[in-house]
Amino acid sequence: MVRSEAVSVADEGAAIAGDLVLPPGARKVVLFAHGSGSSRHSPRNRSVAAALQDAGLGTLLMDLLTEREEGRDAMTGEHRFDIELLAGRVVAAVDWLGSRPDTADLPVGLFGASTGAAAALAGAAERPERVQAVVSRGGRPDLAGGALRLVRAPVLLIVGGDDPEVLRLNQEAADLLPVPHRVHIVPGATHLFEEPGALDEVAEEARDWFLGAGR
């Protein structure tokens, strides 16, 4: 029976909300790091998460900001590019998974979208012993900066073919990765992968990457 649980992860006094789903016999758990202006309720990431769950992978969809921080960010934009803060929340969630009896022994994958991709990569660099694979959807891996050279998990960068600036940034970031990696272009897709079949392709590529750990 699939277990679904609303959870809270503590990070330096902040309580970060999340939704944990564990299919029977889950082999891995994938933590979703959302970008600015998004949340664990993102229909795109929930669609990808459902495909991963169908493949026997656990998922943890997290808000990287508290409600108060989200409200302030909506007015000032001060948190959305604070990769150090966002990566710290990813690391806190990875550590939290390691503290639970039902997830402590499960390898962790990270799925990041937009600025959440940079947070995922920076988090992977900080927890190389726990993070087994990273996937970015329409992400900004370039914002991870020097952390790119410290990543030890294989990385899949998924970009829309009609999202040229983000594609360029992903290709440049890929050149800095010292690990097995691939840039997968979804033909005809724009930044949000709203075109018919685009998100299905994202889900399939992510599923295969996590199941194979990049091999």
CATH of the domain at 114: 3.40.50.1820
Radius of gyration of the chain (CA): 16
- Show pLDDT as tens, one digit a residue, over the chain (215 residues): 889 999 999 888 888 899 999 999 999 999 999 866 566 777 888 999 999 999 999 999 998 887 776 766 566 665 667 899 999 999 999 999 999 999 999 999 999 999 999 999 999 999 999 999 999 999 999 999 999 999 999 999 999 999 999 999 999 999 999 999 999 999 999 999 999 999 999 999 999 999 996 44
Domain of residue 79: give its range. Answer: 3-212
- Whether the CB-CB separation of 122 and 42 falls below 8 Å is answered with no
- Amino acid residing at 71: G
Structural domain count, the chain: 1
Predicted local confidence at residue 11, as pLDDT: 87
Characterize the bridge pairing of strands 14-22 and 3-11.
Answer: antiparallel
User: Residue 172 CB: number of other CB atoms within 10 A?
Assistant: 12
Instruction: Indicate the pTM of the whole model.
Output: 0.93
pLDDT at 213: 66
Show Cβ contacts of residue 96 under 8 Å, excluding neighbours closer than 6 positions. 7, 9, 10
DSSP 8-class letter at 69: H
